[in-house]
């Protein structure tokens, strides 16, 4: 029997997203307007709702950005011997 089910999309109110991210509703709406998270207006009267998967993707992107920045800072403090694999390696504080 073929599976005709539609994947479930969970929609969150901006206040719920703000609580999850520890930011204000205005900041959540700024993220929606900038395209960093996906939101839509649904219902009558229309109210903003945000896809839960979009919030998860945003958090993943933020974690990756933090990881890259940490590597960048680490590479800026590395000495030439550390970078080229020879000589005396100094210990960081």
How far apart, in whole angstroms, are the C-alpha atoms of residue 45 and residue 59? 30
pTM of full prediction above 0.85: no
Element (H, E) at 40: strand 39-42
pLDDT score, position 48: 95
How far apart, in whole angstroms, are the C-alpha atoms of residue 51 and residue 40? 8
Contacts of 54 (CB under 8 A, 6+ apart): 37, 38, 39
Task: Show pLDDT as tens, one digit a residue, over the chain (93 residues).
Answer: 566 676 787 899 999 999 999 999 999 999 999 999 999 999 889 999 999 999 999 999 999 999 999 888 877 776 666 566 665 556 666
The domain locations on the chain are 11-77
pLDDT score, position 75: 74
């Amino acid at each position: 029997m073929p599976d005709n089910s539609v994947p479930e999309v969970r929609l969150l109110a901006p206040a719920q997203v703000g609580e999850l991210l520890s930011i204000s509703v205005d900041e959540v709406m700024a993220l929606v307007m900038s395209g960093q998270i996906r939101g839509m207006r649904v219902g009558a009267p229309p109210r903003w709702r945000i896809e839960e998967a979009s919030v998860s993707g945003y958090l993943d992107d933020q974690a990756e950005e933090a990881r890259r920045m940490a590597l960048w800072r680490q590479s800026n403090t590395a000495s030439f011997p550390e970078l080229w694999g020879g000589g005396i390696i100094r210990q960081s504080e």
